[in-house]
């Protein structure tokens, strides 16, 4: 413990604290721009500079450490001048057309610049012009890049994907696809983590909002929208509403006046996925007991993970579950069973899904995801950010909505479907149903809760009346890589492995609302587990809509029709 003085106020901090930590402890919120705790502490933007008594040069507070007796000034004239100058130099290479920026109103650079009172801007702006294929679901706009390096670090350290690199030097320095490659030719998983960690509008998702407005305006088209599990925790964050005023039923009420014909719940198809995948798991274990690959079965619902495993572990691809993701299962059900039930021509359905995910935009366009009627099973995917922009454009009075139910049938999802959105949730949901299949008994409440929580690599062994099931759960692709390496080398062995590309699972997804520097997977996940706790049904096999769906249409899990519509042997 050392004692330092910040703007005249003494504080005690651990000897390994940064100056920034000490300033914040003293109540002085020094501005930062490139800084991301634990991930990017390189002091490149020079916005967090402070004056330290006895030191001539200003020091970056994010990556310099305290010394006992240090006296720090966070807002001296020298500091203020330097911060302004540093930010103005960034602006001199930034496209400041903020009115047409996807991040409008939610930009760290704009915030810092406004806070510093940069109104008269003396420099001429010179912009980097690097081309980008605008059909790709991830868009890089280099004239908005401030070279903070956050995207490089997230992609390297957290997502083990190494997509971004630095090209050129000095004032020509650019962050771009490493080695000058085309983004189509590198192994971007489309996890979107670089987007949610970008402090400006240099990275964003492809905007598909106009396709949705066009479908809504076409009288010949029936629009059916599904909403993913984790979206219920985050859709209204833009408006800062309480959890009670921002439930999924409020979201249904918000979407109705926009003109959607049917609003359905991806939780239902998450339950469907569990029925298929839980059954498949038991077959996979049987195969392994009789000389199968020896590798565990891997979950397949996260398209970021599927892209990753295909690129880096081809030897494991055959052990990825053939079950489609809940999004794609719902798409296939909508254009077959649901269309039949409603008496609509499936070719005239526009099937939309609202996801916390960028990779889902790619998943729905894979050529093998058109099993129902030959058209894509899901036509379009919007991120939570895009939907929030639509609600703002339509001036929906989000704070004063009366909750409304989903459309029936296929509107109901169990607690097991809801927890899909958090890391470990798919595993827990599958184990509840597998337990029932194996033992014929109802699983005790929360008997598989060991796989919950934000740790990047979790493992547990469960006993199902004598059948031992060894499981592991990873989220974040560096954790997934460590896990896969250990599996391939034989260091560890499991029966079932869940991987989600984004840290914390879909609640931390790359299509979620952006709160710069804050990680919200934890609190959002808690909401999902809270909903599971109070759900009428907590096990997928108990879902009355699922029971009906098998009775009327699929027969049983892994039936011929289920294999055709709900499974794929290719994964993209």
Q: Choose between 396 and 499: whose C-beta lies nearer to ligand HC0.
A: 499
Q: Is 231 in the site for ligand HC0 (CB under 6 A)?
A: yes
Q: Choose between 64 and 266: whose C-beta lies nearer to ligand HC0.
A: 266
Q: Is 198 in the site for ligand SF4 (CB under 6 A)?
A: no
Q: Is 326 in the site for ligand HC0 (CB under 6 A)?
A: yes
What whole-number distance in Å separates Cα of residue 31 and Cα of residue 517? 12
What whole-number distance in Å separates Cα of residue 128 and Cα of residue 170? 13
Q: Kindly give the residue spans of alpha helices, DSSP state H, lying in 458-543.
A: 477-488, 521-533
Instruction: State which of residues 101, 203, 355, 410 lies at the interface with ligand HC0 (CB under 6 A).
Output: 355
Residues in the chain: 572
Q: Is 354 in the site for ligand HC0 (CB under 6 A)?
A: no
Collapsing DSSP states into helix, strand and coil, what is residue 313?
coil
Q: Choose between 6 and 270: whose C-beta lies nearer to ligand HC0.
A: 270
Asked if the peptide bond before residue 409 counts as cis, ω within 30 degrees of 0, the response is yes
Q: Is 189 in the site for ligand SF4 (CB under 6 A)?
A: yes
As given in the structure block, the two tokens for residue 282 are 């038991």
* 270 touches, from ligand SF4, ligand HC0, none (C-beta below 5 to 8 Å by class): ligand HC0
- Residue 320 and residue 301 in contact, taking contact as beta carbons nearer than 8 Å: no
Size of the site for ligand HC0 (CB under 6 A): 19
Q: Could you give the string, one character per residue 278-317, with x where binding to ligand HC0 holds by CB under 6 A and - elsewhere?
A: -----------------------xx---------------
Q: Is 540 in the site for ligand HC0 (CB under 6 A)?
A: no
* 421 touches, from ligand HC0, ligand SF4, none (C-beta below 5 to 8 Å by class): ligand HC0
What whole-number distance in Å separates Cα of residue 567 and Cα of residue 434? 18
Phi and psi torsions of 56, nearest 5°: -65, -50
Cβ count within 10 A of residue 136: 17
Size of the site for ligand SF4 (CB under 6 A): 13
Instruction: State which of residues 19, 33, 34, 188 lies at the interface with ligand SF4 (CB under 6 A).
Output: 188
Only one residue has tokens 């059916």, namely 224
Q: Choose between 144 and 538: whose C-beta lies nearer to ligand SF4.
A: 144
Q: Tell me the CA distances in angstroms from 36 to 22, 125, 536, one per residue in order.
A: 16, 27, 41
Only one residue has tokens 């901090």, namely 13
Q: Is 364 in the site for ligand HC0 (CB under 6 A)?
A: no
Q: Is 86 in the site for ligand SF4 (CB under 6 A)?
A: no
Long-range contacts, stretch 247-256, CB < 8 angstroms, 24+ apart: 247/403, 248/406, 249/403, 249/404, 249/405, 250/398, 250/401, 250/403, 251/227, 252/227, 252/403, 252/404, 252/405, 252/406, 253/401, 253/402, 253/403, 253/404, 254/391, 254/396, 254/398, 254/401, 255/225, 256/404
Q: Could you give the string, one character per residue 134-153, with x where binding to ligand SF4 holds by CB under 6 A and - elsewhere?
A: ----x---------------
What whole-number distance in Å separates Cα of residue 373 and Cα of residue 546? 22
Q: Could you give the string, one character per residue 11-50, with x where binding to ligand HC0 holds by CB under 6 A and - elsewhere?
A: ----------------------------------------
Q: Is the dihedral of CA 511, 517, 522, 524 positive or negative?
A: negative
Q: Rounded to the nearest whole angstrom, what is the least distance from the CB of residue 307 to ligand SF4 in the complex? A: 8
As given in the structure block, the two tokens for residue 214 are 């066009």
**By CB under 6 A, which span of 187-195, 279-287, 322-330, 559-567 interacts with ligand SF4?**
187-195
Q: Is 420 in the site for ligand HC0 (CB under 6 A)?
A: yes
Q: Is 194 in the site for ligand SF4 (CB under 6 A)?
A: yes
Q: Choose between 311 and 547: whose C-beta lies nearer to ligand SF4.
A: 311
Q: Choose between 159 and 479: whose C-beta lies nearer to ligand SF4.
A: 159
Cβ count within 10 A of residue 489: 8
Q: Rounded to the nearest whole angstrom, what is the least distance from the CB of residue 325 to ligand HC0 in the complex? A: 3
Annotate 34-48 with DSSP letters as a single string: S-BTTTB----S--S
Q: Choose between 81 and 181: whose C-beta lies nearer to ligand SF4.
A: 181
Instruction: State which of residues 34, 107, 191, 301 lies at the interface with ligand SF4 (CB under 6 A).
Output: 191
Q: Is 229 in the site for ligand HC0 (CB under 6 A)?
A: yes
* 229 touches, from ligand SF4, ligand HC0, none (C-beta below 5 to 8 Å by class): ligand HC0
Annotate 494-511 with DSSP letters as a single string: -SEEEEESSTTSGGG-TT
Instruction: State which of residues 357, 364, 434, 546 lies at the interface with ligand HC0 (CB under 6 A).
Output: 357
What whole-number distance in Å separates Cα of residue 155 and Cα of residue 208? 24
Only one residue has tokens 């300033």, namely 23
Q: Choose between 130 and 249: whose C-beta lies nearer to ligand HC0.
A: 249
What whole-number distance in Å separates Cα of residue 80 and Cα of residue 82? 6
Only one residue has tokens 């833009």, namely 238
- Of 259, 192, 119, 71, which Cα lies nearest the Cα of 476? 192
Q: Choose between 472 and 502: whose C-beta lies nearer to ligand SF4.
A: 502
**By CB under 6 A, which span of 106-114, 183-191, 253-261, 318-326 interacts with ligand SF4?**
183-191
Collapsing DSSP states into helix, strand and coil, what is residue 16?
coil
Q: Rounded to the nearest whole angstrom, what is the least distance from the CB of residue 178 to ligand HC0 in the complex? A: 26
**By CB under 6 A, which span of 13-21, 102-110, 157-165, 403-411 interacts with ligand SF4?**
157-165
Q: Is 163 in the site for ligand SF4 (CB under 6 A)?
A: yes
Q: Is 421 in the site for ligand HC0 (CB under 6 A)?
A: yes
Q: Which letter does DSSP use for residue 228 in this model?
A: -
Q: Is 322 in the site for ligand SF4 (CB under 6 A)?
A: no
Q: Choose between 86 and 322: whose C-beta lies nearer to ligand HC0.
A: 322
Q: Choose between 192 and 509: whose C-beta lies nearer to ligand SF4.
A: 192
Q: Rounded to the nearest whole angstrom, what is the least distance from the CB of residue 21 to ligand HC0 in the complex? A: 34
What whole-number distance in Å separates Cα of residue 50 and Cα of residue 62? 10
Residue numbers of the site for ligand HC0 (CB under 6 A)?
228-231, 266, 270, 301-302, 325-327, 355-357, 360, 420-421, 506, 509
Residue numbers of the site for ligand SF4 (CB under 6 A)?
138, 154-155, 159, 161, 163, 188-194
């Amino acid at each position: 413990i050392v004692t330092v003085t910040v703007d005249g106020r003494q504080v005690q901090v651990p000897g390994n604290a940064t100056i920034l930590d000490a300033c914040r402890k003293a109540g002085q919120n020094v501005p930062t721009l490139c800084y991301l705790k634990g991930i990017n502490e390189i002091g490149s933007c020079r916005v967090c500079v402070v004056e330290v008594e006895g030191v001539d040069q200003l020091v970056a507070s994010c990556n310099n450490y305290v010394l006992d007796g240090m006296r720090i000034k966070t807002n001296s004239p020298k500091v203020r001048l330097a911060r302004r100058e540093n930010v103005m130099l960034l602006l001199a290479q930034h496209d400041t057309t903020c009115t047409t920026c996807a991040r409008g109103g939610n930009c760290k650079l704009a915030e810092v610049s406004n806070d510093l009172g940069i109104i008269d801007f003396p420099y001429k702006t010179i912009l980097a012009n690097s081309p980008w294929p605008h059909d790709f679901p991830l868009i890089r706009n280099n004239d908005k890049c401030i070279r903070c390096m956050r995207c490089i670090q997230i992609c390297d350290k957290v997502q083990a994907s190494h997509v971004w690199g630095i090209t050129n030097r000095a004032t020509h320095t650019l962050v771009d696809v490493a080695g000058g490659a085309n983004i189509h030719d590198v192994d971007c998983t489309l996890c979107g983590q670089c987007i949610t960690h970008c402090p400006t509008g240099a990275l964003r998702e492809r905007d598909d909002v106009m396709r949705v407005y066009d479908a809504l305006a076409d009288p010949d088209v029936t629009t059916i929208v599904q909403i993913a599990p984790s979206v219920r925790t985050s859709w209204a964050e833009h408006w800062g509403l309480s959890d009670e005023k921002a439930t999924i039923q409020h979201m249904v009420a918000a979407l109705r006046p926009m003109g959607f014909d049917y609003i359905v719940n991806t939780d239902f198809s998450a339950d469907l996925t569990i029925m298929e995948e839980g059954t498949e798991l038991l077959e996979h274990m049987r195969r392994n007991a009789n000389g199968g690959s020896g590798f565990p079965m891997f979950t397949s619902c996260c398209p970021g993970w599927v892209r990753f495993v295909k690129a880096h572990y081809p030897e494991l691809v055959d052990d990825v579950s053939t079950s489609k993701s809940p999004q794609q299962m719902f798409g296939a059900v909508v254009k077959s069973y649901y269309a039949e039930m409603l008496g609509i021509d499936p070719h005239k359905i526009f099937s939309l899904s609202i996801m916390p995910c960028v990779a889902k935009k790619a998943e729905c366009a894979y050529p093998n995801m058109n099993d129902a009627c030959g058209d894509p099973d899901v036509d379009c995917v919007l991120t939570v950010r895009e939907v929030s922009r639509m609600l703002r454009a339509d001036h929906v009075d989000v704070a004063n909505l009366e909750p409304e139910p989903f459309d029936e049938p296929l509107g109901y999802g169990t607690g097991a479907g809801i927890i899909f959105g958090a890391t470990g949730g798919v595993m827990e949901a599958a184990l509840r149903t597998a337990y029932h299949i194996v033992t014929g008994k109802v699983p005790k409440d929360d008997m598989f809760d060991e796989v919950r929580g934000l740790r990047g690599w979790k493992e547990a062994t469960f006993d199902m009346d004598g059948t031992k099931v060894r499981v592991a759960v990873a989220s974040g692709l560096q954790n997934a890589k460590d896990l896969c390496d250990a599996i391939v080398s034989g260091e560890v062995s499991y029966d079932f492995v869940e991987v989600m590309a984004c840290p914390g699972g879909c609640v931390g997804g790359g299509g979620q609302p952006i709160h710069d520097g804050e990680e919200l997977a934890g609190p959002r996940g808690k909401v999902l587990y809270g909903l599971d706790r109070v759900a009428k049904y907590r096990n997928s096999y108990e879902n009355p809509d699922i029971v009906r769906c098998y009775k009327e249409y699929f027969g049983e899990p892994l039936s011929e029709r289920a294999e055709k519509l709900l499974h794929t042997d290719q994964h993209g």
